[in-house]
Structure 1
Amino acid sequence: MSARILVVDDVPANVKLLEARLSAEYFDVMTASNGTEALAICARAECDIILLDVMMPDMDGFEVCRRLKTDPATHHIPVVMVTALDSPADRNRGLEAGADDFLTKPVSDVVLIARVRSLTRLKMMTDELRMRAITSLEIGMQAPERSAVADTGKGGRILLVDDRESSYERLATILAAEHTIDVEPNPTEALFHAAEGNYDLLIVSLDLNNFDGLRLCSQARSLERTRHVPILAIAEAENSTRLLRGLEIGVNDYLLRPIDKTELLARVRTQIRRRRYTDHLRDNVQNSIEMAITDALTGLHNRRYMESHLATLAEQASTRGKPLALMILDIDYFKSINDNYGHDAGDDVLREFAVRVRKSIRGIDLACRYGGEEFVIVMPETDLHVAGMVAERLRRSIAGEPFAVHKGTKRIEVTISIGLTTLEQKGEAVADVLKRADTALYRAKHDGRNRVVSQAA
């Protein structure tokens, strides 16, 4: 797993030592001797993880970290402070500045590499989501960076898995000041609880009685509903080996007992902020996908999606020897609606029309806006007779009740014409089916509109 690691330290010997350790594990190492240089490298997006010293002459590490984490362009880059400072106050100050971890020199190679690998996985996942979300920006959706920078990391929903009453009572009391806490003292029920609870963070004790806490963490990572929920592990100091194993299987962060209140709150806030940011990225990606295949006005699928999906449905119908019905619908005299009542009224009609279409077809049917006032409905495993009944029901639904426009102040009569056909010849081109349905639609309009015309293959 290769990543670009930026080592920031004003002492050349420290830089060379870290560079040698990381290069031996096949990481690409970059170096900076001061905070200003480090900020410039990060601004150019040239690194994946930062190992940051605290005591530097021009700008200390706390300030460098604070600037990185308050800049929308760099806030997502993991920062690990590696310093000789070892007091709880210094560690908490670093975590409050936004550092993902705070390691005190001398740091063992095993601990350092395990942490870097863990954060590398996190960074690569975030980068992939960021790359996919670029499309959402191009279609006008809001980027999550600024809200992520402003997020306090408070108000999260946390599941605490701990079977020692004295321990979970203390932890729950501390966390309740900033978050909503559920305690699960029964580890055998914890995974089910986690999957059903929509949590922002799981806190798991690795010192459970008669239960392997690491196995619970591994199961949470393998379950779809909890795969992306961050995990904070808690263990005794002598269990450092198990903690390192936890990082390998997907634990995001850890704490050693006795637990410092300030450090606990800081690490929890960091994980919740990250969770919200990646969730926002995933939502943007999903929304951009939906917008690419959905008509914005009606909420039905668009022509692009219909053309690609229709080919798949036709192939399946041919392979399985099943019928496939297709109808093209056109709103009668739609231009006159726009001319007489305005384009806002026309939009009202299109929206309501889409609602009535959805109510008249099955869940497996595909309804699309073909363009303007034309729509296509594809009905798998449906013959011409059944499709004709559906089409007639839909025609009556449109004609039977006036459409409300201008916020309900006016109601207008609307009718539709429908051309209907089926795919029955194995291997028939989709374009031929559409053309046949279009010809049937033309006949329906020529014969007086507000009617269904079928044309067999």
Structure 2
Amino acid sequence: MTARVLIVDDIPTNVRLLEARLSAEYYEVLTASSGREAIEICQAGKVDIVLLDVMMPQMDGFEVCQRLKADRQTHHIPVLMVTALDQPSDKLRGLEVGADDFLTKPVDDVQLMARVRSLVRLKTLTDELRSRAQTGQAIAIEDTWQAAASISTDGGRVLLVDDDARNAQRIAGYLGETAQVDVLSHPQDAALAVSGGEYELVLVSMGLNDIDPLRVCSQMRTAEQSRSLPIILIAEESDRPRVLRGLELGVNDFITRPVERNELQARVRTQLRRQRYAVALRESVSNTLALAVTDELTGLYNRRYFERHLGLMLAKSQDQEREMALMLVDMDYFKTVNDTHGHDVGDRVLREFSDRLRRNIRGIDLACRYGGEEFVVLMPDTEASPARLVAERVRAAVADRPFSGSNGADMNLTVSVGLALNDVAVDTPDTMLKRADVALYQAKRNGRNQVVAAMDHALTANQQAN
């Protein structure tokens, strides 16, 4: 998996060394010699992951990372801090300002590539979800940014897989203040334990006795319910080759023994934050897909959805040589409602009309808000006679019962309806809509509160011409 990696370091020798290592693995490498330059490159949208040196003049790595994570344009870019500082407090500070991971100089090749691969996978997932949200509506990105900014990591549900009771008790104690930790002493049950979706993170000990810990991770990654669940390995220094293999299998992070309390808490918070952000993105995508095809006021499908669906259904009816009807409905004198009673009442009337429309069409019919007070109903497998019956039922549902106006006053409203049937041989969505629109216009000219079919209008026009 290739990616664009930005190396940020003010010492050219360090840059060349990291550049050579990453280029050998076919990563595309960009470089920056200052924090300000790094921020500008990231804001330009050219970066998948940042390798950030801590000790730099003018603006150190901690400040650079903090600024990147505070900017909605760049907060989703993973930051891997590379530092000569080896105190736990320095690592903790890096994670607290938003760093996704860190490496200590001199950089070990195995750790470098393992961390980069893991963070590139994270970036790929985030980019996919962001692009889907952006495709639907820009507001979705705004919502997910606000969600990311407000994410708390308190109360995380963590599963610890460890068959050594003493070690498990110590690790659980480290996390007890901020997370709910359940210990699983039978590792072979891990996949079943996480299948219910109640856990947000899994810690797996590499020191399991009767089962390969990577097998446990693989089983969780294979199951649909836990495929995106974050996993952290707790490993010995001698486990490094297997840790690398675990990262290739989809493990998200690892920590080596002896486990330092603050580092463990920071890594757990990082994974919980990522997980909750990913959940927020997925929910945003689902909501955005709904927003993209439905009308917010009425809950009916919108014009965009209708136009695409009409093309598909017309092509199907033509291929199968079946009838299809189109009904265009317009509320009569609706401007008077808004002018007399106000737009709030007008909106309420539109919602009420939409409910009556739904109740009076058939299950196979598709109702959409076409724009303003104009609605359209697509009726597949429908000939002229049943189409007219449905249209008359909709017209009567409006005319026979008043709507509520301002101050409880009743309003008697009506609709005009234009009907069109498809011509199996030559019709297009535009020609069908045009005929329905012409029929609707004729219904308005004839006095409103009536149904006119395109064939009726054509017959009348011919009679008048003769």
TM-score class, shorter-chain normalisation, is 0.7 to 0.9
Equivalent AA in structure 2 for residue 418 of structure 1:
V
Match in the other structure for 2:250: 250
Paired residues for 1:1-400 under 5 Å: 1-33=1-33, 35=35, 37-39=37-39, 41-56=41-56, 58-130=58-130, 133=133, 142=142, 144-145=144-145, 148-149=148-149, 151-162=151-162, 166=166, 168-181=168-181, 190-191=190-191, 194=194, 196-197=196-197, 199-205=199-205, 213-215=213-215, 217-218=217-218, 220-221=220-221, 226-284=226-284, 287-361=287-361, 364-400=364-400
Question: How far, CA to CA, are the matches of 2:402 and 2:171 in structure 1?
Answer: 61
Equivalent AA in structure 2 for residue 326 of structure 1:
L
Report the aligned-residue RMSD: 3.8
Question: How far, CA to CA, are the matches of 1:199 and 1:151 in structure 2?
Answer: 17
Equivalent AA in structure 1 for residue 430 of structure 2:
A
Match in the other structure for 1:431: 430
How far did 1:266 drift? 0.9
Q: Deviations over 1:60-112 (max 9, x none)?
A: 44444334333444332222233343343333333233222222334332221
Question: How far, CA to CA, are the matches of 1:426 and 1:193 in structure 2?
Answer: 59
Equivalent AA in structure 2 for residue 123 of structure 1:
K
Equivalent AA in structure 1 for residue 414 of structure 2:
T
Three-state SS of the structure 2 residue aligned to 1:244 is helix
Question: How far, CA to CA, are the matches of 2:211 and 2:436 in structure 1?
Answer: 64
Q: Deviations over 1:207-230 (max 9, x none)?
A: 556555545544555655544443
Question: How far, CA to CA, are the matches of 2:60 and 2:435 in structure 1?
Answer: 74
How far did 1:281 drift? 4.4
The unaligned stretches of length 5 or more in structure 2 are 457-466
Question: How far, CA to CA, are the matches of 2:35 and 2:427 in structure 1?
Answer: 67
Question: How far, CA to CA, are the matches of 2:325 and 2:175 in structure 1?
Answer: 59
Question: How far, CA to CA, are the matches of 1:323 and 1:169 in structure 2?
Answer: 71
Question: How far, CA to CA, are the matches of 1:181 and 1:409 in structure 2?
Answer: 57
Question: How far, CA to CA, are the matches of 1:36 and 1:209 in structure 2?
Answer: 50
Equivalent AA in structure 1 for residue 242 of structure 2:
R
Three-state SS of the structure 2 residue aligned to 1:112 is helix
Question: How far, CA to CA, are the matches of 2:269 and 2:355 in structure 1?
Answer: 43
Question: How far, CA to CA, are the matches of 1:416 and 1:228 in structure 2?
Answer: 51
Return the TM-score normalized by structure 2: 0.80
Q: Is the Cα contact below 8 Å between 2:417 and 2:450 reproduced in 1?
A: yes
How far did 1:265 drift? 1.8
Q: Is the Cα contact below 8 Å between 1:315 and 1:427 reproduced in 2?
A: no
Question: How far, CA to CA, are the matches of 1:48 and 1:267 in structure 2?
Answer: 21
63 and 343 in structure 1: CA distance in 2 versus 1, 3 angstrom threshold? closer
Three-state SS of the structure 1 residue aligned to 2:239 is helix
| 2:404 is aligned with 1:404 | yes
Equivalent AA in structure 2 for residue 264 of structure 1:
L
193 and 385 in structure 1: CA distance in 2 versus 1, 3 angstrom threshold? farther
Q: Is the Cα contact below 8 Å between 1:73 and 1:145 reproduced in 2?
A: no
Name whichever of 115-124 and 64-73 sits farther off: 64-73
Equivalent AA in structure 2 for residue 15 of structure 1:
V
Three-state SS of the structure 2 residue aligned to 1:251 is coil
How far did 1:241 drift? 2.4
Q: Deviations over 1:131-183 (max 9, x none)?
A: 55556775697364465345443344445555555555554454443245566
Q: Is the Cα contact below 8 Å between 1:136 and 1:284 reproduced in 2?
A: no
> How many pairs are equivalent?
456
Identity %: 54
Q: Deviations over 1:244-278 (max 9, x none)?
A: 12222322222234433322221122123233444
How far did 1:376 drift? 0.8
Equivalent AA in structure 1 for residue 275 of structure 2:
R
Q: Deviations over 1:38-81 (max 9, x none)?
A: 44544555543222333445554444433433344433222223
Name whichever of 303-312 and 104-113 sits farther off: 104-113
Q: Is the Cα contact below 8 Å between 1:69 and 1:149 reproduced in 2?
A: no
Name whichever of 273-282 and 218-227 sits farther off: 218-227
Match in the other structure for 1:418: 417
Q: Is the Cα contact below 8 Å between 2:356 and 2:397 reproduced in 1?
A: yes
412 and 235 in structure 1: CA distance in 2 versus 1, 3 angstrom threshold? farther
